[in-house]
Amino acid sequence: MSEHTTLSDLEAAIDNTFATDAQQASVDVVEPGIVTAVETLSMQQALNRALAEVLEENPKALVLGEDVGLLGGVFRITDGLQKQFGEDRVFDTPLAESGILGMSVGLAMAGYHPIPEVQFDGFAYPAINQIVCQVGRMNYRSRGTMPMPITLRVPSFGGIRAPEHHGESLESLFAHVPGLKVVSPSSPNEAYHLLKHAATRPDPVIFMEPKSRYWQKGPVDTSADGYSPEGSRIVREGKHLTLVAWGAMVARCLQVAELAAEDGIDVEVLDLRWLKPIDAEGLAASVAKTRRAVVVHEAPLTSGLGAEVAALITERCFGTLRAPVERVTGFDVPYPSGDLEDEYVPNIDRILFGIQRVLENRRG
């Protein structure tokens, strides 16, 4: 590492490590004074650390859900928290997601900050009524007197060869609901900081964790020096086009960018982070420079968040865009079985084809 190594350089280095395969990352200790308090953690460890700190700092914070107690969650995100904070603060609920969310609403009304877990994305469907009509509306219905500081953690997206409804991407559903905010981290450092940020907000935040990235390690700068949880972030600068992604697709887009660079294509990668509110100005700033954009997501194409991203870019950059915004997404099919998921989730080839289309398109 050079003496001017920054956190994003480290992240890029580690993501590239995983681009070539599952070799464990090891990050050299960075020179003092350049990056402080950096540790190498998996996203699972970073989330666990963030939850422990939130529970420590806010006595009203509670963790609840299925198997989050003694077991530590099926992904071990809540590992050890019940032992550390007791059964009042970290507790198992019966297996009913509407119950978990409805109970969280009541706890919030009583002054608590519930951090419920819905064990897998698809398990949020039984809770949709409570999420839409209660979590998203109680602040409104009560004219601001009953805020809903609920941080709903949802292990999300595909890529782990899981059974049906364990690999879904619900961001469009959530983002369409007034009163909710939606965020998805793409790296251990982002996971740590965004969860700490979300879990201290007075509004409900749906926290979509890319479950396929739980075990990838990366540097986490717990000092938060210079870290901003707001808006999007550029994870790789480039001149020719902007790849817009979130969650697990960010790492994939970084891989694609490296491959494209071999052909002389300079790709900028923008990690959207917040799926509601979307950082329209950040998108516009990047695309104003590159004049081309490809948005990549795992969710189905039709009415996917890519459409919203394309609209926001078009509204702001119509005059300078060199081509229509391209979308590389999942298909309008139920999320397939593990044998087919590599065909469904945008892979490197499909993203490269998207780049080709946006580069070949010529106006006039």
Partner 1 sequence: MSDVLALDLSAQPDLSAEDLKQLYRLMVAVRHLDESAIRWQRQGLIPGYAPELGQEAAQVGSGYALDMARDFVFPTYREMGVARTVGVDMVEYMSTHKASWHGGLYDPQAARFAPIQAVVAGSVLHAVGWAHGQTLSGTPAGELGVAITYFGDGASSQGDVHEAMNFAAVMKAPVVFFIQNNGFAISVPTERQVAGGSVAARAAGYAMPSLQVDGNDVVAVHQATAAALAHARSGNGPAIVEAMTYRRGPHSTSDDPGRYRTLAEERADGGEDPLARMRSRLLAEGLAGEDFFTEALEAAQAEEERIRNGVGALGSRPGTEMFDFVYQEPTHALKAQARAWREESEHV
| Positions marked active-site | 166
**Residue 335 C-beta: closest distance to partner 1, Å:** 25
**Residue whose pair of structure tokens reads 């081509």 in the numeric block:** 323
Task: Please say which residue, 17 or 104, places its beta carbon nearer to partner 1.
Answer: 104
How many whole angstroms separate alpha carbon 121 and alpha carbon 294? 25
Tokens of 49: 């650390």
Task: Please say which residue, 114 or 300, places its beta carbon nearer to partner 1.
Answer: 114
CB 278 within 8 A of CB 244: no
Q: Which residues pair with 245 in a beta bridge?
A: 271
Tokens of 13: 């280095």
Site residues for partner 1 per CB under 8 A = 62, 88, 93-94, 96, 98-99, 101-112, 114, 126, 129-130, 133-134, 138-147, 178-179, 181, 201-203, 276-278, 280
Tokens of 95: 């297996």
Cβ count near 289 (within 10 Å): 16
Task: Tell me 202's DSSP state.
Answer: S
User: What is the phi-psi region of residue 361: left when phi exceeds 0, alpha when psi lies from -120 to 50, beta otherwise?
Assistant: beta
Instruction: List the strands of the sheet with 233-236, edge to edge.
Output: 233-236, 267-271, 241-245, 293-300, 326-330
User: What is the phi-psi region of residue 176: left when phi exceeds 0, alpha when psi lies from -120 to 50, beta otherwise?
Assistant: alpha
For 267, 299, 308, 323, the CA distances from 241, given in Å and listed in that order, are: 5, 22, 18, 10
Task: Please say which residue, 77 or 101, places its beta carbon nearer to partner 1.
Answer: 101
Q: What is the length of the chain?
A: 364
80, 83, 84, 89: CA torsion to nearest 10: 100
**Residue 58 C-beta: closest distance to partner 1, Å:** 14
The phi and psi torsions of 300 (rounded to 5 degrees) equal -55, 155
Cβ count near 259 (within 10 Å): 16
Task: Please say which residue, 201 or 291, places its beta carbon nearer to partner 1.
Answer: 201
The phi and psi torsions of 38 (rounded to 5 degrees) equal -90, 130
Cβ count near 175 (within 10 Å): 18
Task: Please say which residue, 13 or 146, places its beta carbon nearer to partner 1.
Answer: 146
Task: Please say which residue, 101 or 245, places its beta carbon nearer to partner 1.
Answer: 101
Task: Please say which residue, 71 or 110, places its beta carbon nearer to partner 1.
Answer: 110
